[in-house]
Every structure is written in structure tokens, then in C-alpha cells.
Amino acid sequence: MMLENQVALVTGAGKGIGKAIALALASNGAAVIVNYNGSKERAKETVNQIQENGGKAEAIGCNVADFNSCKEMLEDVISRYGRLDILVNNAGITKDNLLMKMSEEDFDAVIDINLKGAFNCMKHVARQMIKQKSGRIINISSVSGVAGNAGQANYSASKAGLIGLTKTAAKELASRGITVNAIAPGFIQTEMTDVLSDAIKSAALEKIPMKRFGEPEDIAQAVLFFASGNAKYITGQVICVDGGMVM
Ligand code: NAP
């Protein structure tokens, strides 16, 4: 078991990519904190699935956009488990529109969850990871943050910001035994992309050299790599998991 005795927290892990990440970390031996905001029942299902497979997990509700709630969640986890080895900032939303039509509220909402949410969690685990002299922080960005995407000014800005946050934290924390990396998924089949029109899906498919969409497990495997000892000399990097969409 590669992650035996390790404790991991995955934000937004009741469904989609977060759920696949939680399952993958747990099946490799980590005790997993399954964070949710709106989807309490789905988070419980993730926990049940992990426990049925013989793993350890619990669900904790917290809106990652709320600085104090993140502080409380992480203080609670660290005091009860005595450590936190892996933080995966996966929680994210979209509120797509063209720049000219985008409301201030929709811009702020996406930045607050996708970018500030990651800052809120990273800030509150950094001290503990420094104390442990070890830690893995993995941020789920997007190819939209790497290359931009028409109709996603708020989302692309949040995901590009997350890459800057990743690289800066990597530089600040490297000498303390902590790695910070990002994954930029391409088009992955989840509820986030299910709602897109057939026209948008066909246009996306056109841009993917592998000519198919990815699955949440494709992202989970990249997270597992960054969390594992195999990636111990890698920090501040961004891996696109996108079927070749951005290269
Ligand atoms: P999803 O199925 O819509 O899941 C989004 C997750 O984020 C949910 O678990 C949701 O939890 C959580 N979340 C949203 N707001 C939250 C908040 N304020 N506090 C805590 N959790 C919150 O989407 P997904 O496709 O799995 O996306 C997961 C991540 O991958 C996101 O960061 C997304 O931007 C990124 N990504 C996805 C794709 C793709 O093609 N699917 C591509 C690139 C990047 P609740 O339901 O409990 O609120």
C-alpha cells in the first residue's frame, strides 16, 4: 500500500473527478477526508464505497470559498488525525459566458471557489506540513488555465491563477519537504461537462488528438503519481491530462 498511514483531504469529493481521486487515494491506503459543499449524500456515498472496499474515509462539509470554514475544517482534521499528508484542491465550478456578457457576480463566484478556495486550504495546511517536514499539495487546474478558452474568462483566470499559486507555493515550501504540483485536465466526462451542448462537445472533440473525452480516473492516476514517492523530486509542475489537446 503506497499511501499506508497517510491522511489525505480532497475538496469536492462527492462526485466527478474528486470522487475518483478519493477512491484512488483510499485504495492505495490513505485515510481520506471527503469534503463536500452542497452534495452531502453524494459525499456519504463516496465514503461508503471506500469503506466497503476496506478503506478509511469520512465526509466533512465546508464551503472552500469561506476562509474561516476552511480554517475550522483543517484544524479539526489535523487535531483528530495528528497530521495531513496530501491536500488535493479539486473543488471547482463554471459560470460560462462571453466577457462582454459576464456579470461581476459570476466572475467573483468562480474566482472565490476555484482560486481563493485553494488558497484557503493551502494556507491552513502549510504550517502542519512544515512541522511534519513533508506534504503533497495537488491543485486541479484546467487546460483553460493554460491556453485560455473563449466563454470562460472567469474560469480560465481562476485556473491560470491556480498555476501561479502552485508555482509560488512550490518555491516557498520546497526546502521543507513539501511538493506542490498542478494537473490541468482537458475535457473529462463529469456532470460539469454533461450539461454542455452537443455543438460545444463536438467542437471540443475536434481539438483532441486522441479523439475521445477523458474519464475522472485518468485525473486520479495523475494525482496518485504526484502523491506517491515516485514524484518526490518533482515540484511546481503542471501536467496536462487531456488526450493531447494542449501541447
Ligand atoms: P463536478 O462534477 O461539477 O464537481 C465539482 C465538485 O466541486 C463537486 O464535488 C462540488 O461539491 C465541488 N464544489 C463546488 N463548489 C464548492 C465549494 N464552494 N466548496 C467545496 N466544494 C465545492 O465537476 P468535475 O468535472 O468533477 O470538476 C472537478 C475539478 O476538475 C474542478 O476544479 C474543475 O474545474 C476541474 N476540471 C474539470 C474538467 C472537466 O472536463 N470535467 C476539466 C478541467 C478541469 P458539492 O457538489 O458538494 O458542492
Q: Is the pLDDT of residue 1 over 90?
A: no
C-beta 113 within 6 A of ligand 1: yes
CB 187 near ligand 1, within 6 Å: yes
Cite the active site residues. Answer: 155
* Predicted pLDDT of residue 36: 98
Ligand 1 centroid – CA 112 distance (Å): 13
3-class DSSP state of 199: helix
The arithmetic mean of pLDDT across residues 45-49, rounded, is 98
| pLDDT value for 31 | 98
Cβ of 185 below 6 Å from ligand 1: yes
Asked whether 222 lines ligand 1 (CB < 6 A), one says no
Structure confidence by residue, pLDDT tens digits, 155-206: 999 999 999 999 999 999 999 999 999 999 999 999 999 999 999 999 999 9
State the Cα–Cα distance between residues 67 and 6, nearest whole angstrom: 25
B/e letters for 153-164, b = 16+ CB within 10 Å, e = fewer, are bbbbbbbbbbbe
Average pLDDT, the chain: 98
Confidence of residue 38 (pLDDT cuts 50, 70, 90): very high
Centre of ligand 1 from the C-alpha of residue 244, in Å: 22
Would you state the pLDDT for residue 12?
Answer: 98
In the reported structure, the alpha carbon of residue 136 is separated from the centroid of ligand 1 by a whole-number distance in angstroms of: 20
The DSSP element (H or E) to which 125 belongs, if any, is helix 117-132
Query: In the predicted model, is pLDDT for residue 147 greater than 90?
Result: yes
Radius of gyration of the chain (CA): 17
Q: What is the pLDDT of residues 58-84, one digit of tens each?
A: 999 999 999 999 999 999 999 999 999
Taking the CA of residue 89 as reference, the ligand 1 atom at the shortest distance is: 32
Between CA 140 and CA 22 the distance in angstroms is 13
Q: How far is the CA of 4 from the centre of ligand 1 (A)?
A: 27
pTM across the whole model? 0.99
Ligand 1 contacts CB of residue 70 (under 6 A): no
Q: Which residues pair with 7 in a beta bridge?
A: 31
Percentage of the chain modeled with pLDDT above 70: 100
Confidence of residue 85 (pLDDT cuts 50, 70, 90): very high
Cβ of 145 less than 6 Å from ligand 1: no
For a pLDDT cut of 90, what percent of the chain falls above it? 100
CA distance 182 to 165: 10
Atom 21 (ligand 1) nearest CA: 12
**Helices 153-173 and 117-132, axial angle in degrees (round to 10):** 10
